[in-house]
Structure 1
């Protein structure tokens, strides 16, 4: 039985897998390049099969207690008048802030953690994998699971450069703190100009509002870890627009040290495993934030992978094959996001008018 497992990435997918693998009797180590858990992030949805997984983990009461309690989305004009609203009607699902969910999953995963360790090298042989970190630490494991996001280092080391797998969806987005007095409580407020959107996320159970920015663009050349460059790019797109609440949102967001920026992209791979290395979460199948399915896929995919490894008594070849065969159809379905993008970011003024009319009917 392959008992010693390294998970790279301490976010939703990695921590869920850590919990279940530990519960099934595996010896688990989680490595995370950040010095501590990342507390930021937007609201994420626990829905469908993910609800059952979280309930079995025993943390669903805490998840419900910390729910964001958002009623829906509203679209406004430059005068901040609502022109359409879309309510949320999913009584069985729960929306929770990403950082809150990660903290709960961390508490539920009683395993070894290596914070401040970034993976730099993976060397496989017939019996295991040697993982080398930027700290100089080198450890041997039976299996390595990459749960390190869209720009996965594990994927790059075991499968090849990310350009082979990432498909840009012609949009970029940013997310950061906003002034607590902005936006309507319990609503996601969206203001559109052709090809771009600025928004305010106000959770009913959190005092801190969040700012959203999305804009349409072909591929941009930038360092995905350079936050200063990220702020500059968003400021170039939105900084000259004095309408609605954009100046106040931009000012607050660019002063947030946890400002997050990236492309709206998806990961498409024929296989999620290579020898003794497998991927899960966004590293394997990122559907993009506008899918609304990132947390759901992360939780359910991590559970399925852990379950297959336990069922196969650690036989990774059998487990990895079953994992892909059993989850591929779900991933393919959740990656169908064209309608979501058109709803949130109409390309033209006419498209915005059509969207508002459809939203009113909904």
Structure 2
């Protein structure tokens, strides 16, 4: 039953990772991506622990990821006079290996481009799930039918909306927004490339990071849900500028530079809640579309592990998606708890002065070290089956 056709929506990380394994197992794979091409640059992402690294090693990409890894950068919380108040280590922020999202996407794409069909500049607009396949309509291309459809299209997944229901039913806003702009180390000041630390200017409910590990600039602010045009980047830049205009320290210089930075991205800090059921009929979800928790620290690792598990369970079930999907749900329901109920916004930018003082104390306490150990253990809390041995 492995000679099946699979449509994957999304060509960022989870999509090409899943395409790699499915192609290896004999599936005919098509990947559709709404962007006109691969997105270069972007913020840095990281992998933590033996489980993540084992999957990357089995894919044969770990050495190349190491060759393109970024430098891990300490984040220093400073007051308006530049005095250090607390510090987050680069080892905590960057995991075992850190790489630009665009570089990782390119590495995974290059492993699959010759064997899989990639369709850029298009998107899924309708799904009809039947006993014999999924009839798929596209924004531009003619309709086609596939044996399986997998949504790897992020926290605002179109596939999830079509197969499961409205986004509001499954995505919970956690009270914060974040913005990243520019690649890590980029900026008007060449000395930033040589830094091993980044300043985080903070005030209640707001944080602005200059030259951080994840991007040249990062902003995080508390807010109820906002109604803004996701296509209006200029308007989003103005929104961020207005939110941080009253802050001192290095923030005015950051805002003056903001319009010159590419790779601008603004979104809510949100969590996907599917109660461990990431499949429905012939449709499945992988990565942030299934178990996303913005800035939770494990999103990229979860996406890569989820792709490995879903493809592996399909080959183990000899293509019987009903069996494979049930096993995938069971395995990832337990492992995805690593994303949990963490709220990165509340941790990184507390809404009160007291909350800031408590965070600063926590970062230097034994309790923080215990939290690190717990997160390391959780990242490895899965028994990876050696699926390739089944081929």
TM-score (norm 2): 0.85
303-312 vs 221-230, which moves further: 221-230
What SS class does the counterpart of residue 137 from structure 1 fall into? coil
Q: 1:313 aligns with which of 297, 309, 318?
A: 318
Structure 1: distance between partners of 2:309 and 2:65:
21
Alpha-carbon separation, structure 1, partners of 2:48 and 2:267: 25
Of the candidates 266, 269, 272, which is equivalent to residue 261 of structure 1?
A: 266
Instruction: Please give the secondary structure, in 1, of the residue aligned with 2:173.
Output: strand
Q: By how many angstroms is 1:257 displaced? A: 4.5
Partner of 1:93: 96
Structure-2 change in CA distance of 1:264 and 1:306 (3 Å): same
Q: Secondary structure at the match of 1:120?
A: strand
In 2, Cα distance between the equivalents of 1:252 and 1:35? Answer: 27
Evaluate the alpha carbon distance shift between residue 209 and residue 162 of structure 1 in structure 2; reply closer, same or farther with a 3 A threshold: closer
- The aligned counterpart of 1:105 is 108
Q: CA deviation digits over 1:223-255, x for unaligned, max 9?
A: 3343233223212211343x1221222233334
Task: Tell me if structure 2 keeps the 8 A contact 1:180–1:209.
Answer: no
Change (3 A) 1:40 1:158: same
Contact 2:44 2:215 in 1 (8 A): no
**C-alpha deviation, 1:144, in angstroms:** 0.4
For the Cα contact (< 8 Å) 2:221–2:349, is it kept in 1?
yes
Q: CA RMSD in A?
A: 2.1
**Distance of 1:190 and 1:72 partners within structure 2:** 10
- 1:43 is matched with 44
Residue 295 of structure 1 and its aligned partner are, at CA, apart by 0.6
Q: What is the 5 A alignment of 1:18-29?
A: 18-29=19-30
Range with greater deviation from structure 2 (155-164 or 85-94): 85-94
Deviation by residue 1:144-203 (Cα, 9 ceiling, x = unmatched): 000011111111111111000000100000000262427571324311111100002445
SS in structure 2 at match of 1:220: coil
SS at match of 1:10: coil
**1:195 corresponds to which residue?**
205
Unaligned runs of 5+ in 1: none
SS in 1 for 2:221: strand
Matches of residues 176-215 of structure 1 in structure 2 within 5 Å?
Answer: 176-177=181-182, 179-181=187-189, 185-202=195-212, 210-215=216-221
2:300 corresponds in structure 1 to: 295
Show the 5 A alignment for 1:348-359.
348-359=352-363
Quote the residue 2:55 is aligned against.
53
Q: Contact conserved, 1:57 with 1:108, CA < 8 A, in 2?
A: no
Match of 1:83 among 85, 100, 103: 85
| Cα pair distance change 1:149/1:24, threshold 3 Å | same
The structure-2 alpha-carbon separation of the partners of 1:281 and 1:68, relative to structure 1 and needing over 3 Å to count, comes to: same
Q: Secondary structure at the match of 2:36?
A: coil
What SS is found at the alignment partner of 2:216? strand
What SS does structure 1 have at the residue aligned with 2:209? strand
Normalised by the length of structure 1, the TM-score is 0.92
Tell me the alpha carbon deviations over residues 41-95 of structure 1, each in whole angstroms, 9 at most, x when there is no partner: 2111112211111111111111111111214321112122323223244798211
Does the C-alpha gap of structure 1 residues 323 and 201 become closer, same or farther in structure 2, counting only changes over 3 Å? farther
Matched, 1:230 2:236: yes
Summarize the Cα distance change of 1:302–1:201 in structure 2 as closer, same or farther, 3 Å threshold. farther
Q: CA deviation at 1:209?
A: 5.8
Are residue 343 (structure 1) and residue 347 (structure 2) matched? yes
1:76–1:60 CA distance, 2 compared to 1 (3 A): same
**Cα gap change, 1:67 to 1:257, in 2 (>3 Å):** closer
Contact 2:122–2:141 at 8 Å: present in 1 too?
Answer: no
Shift of 1:335: 2.2
Q: Mind listing any 5+ residue stretches in structure 2 that lack a counterpart?
A: 369-391
- Out of 55-64 and 39-48, give the one that drifted further: 39-48
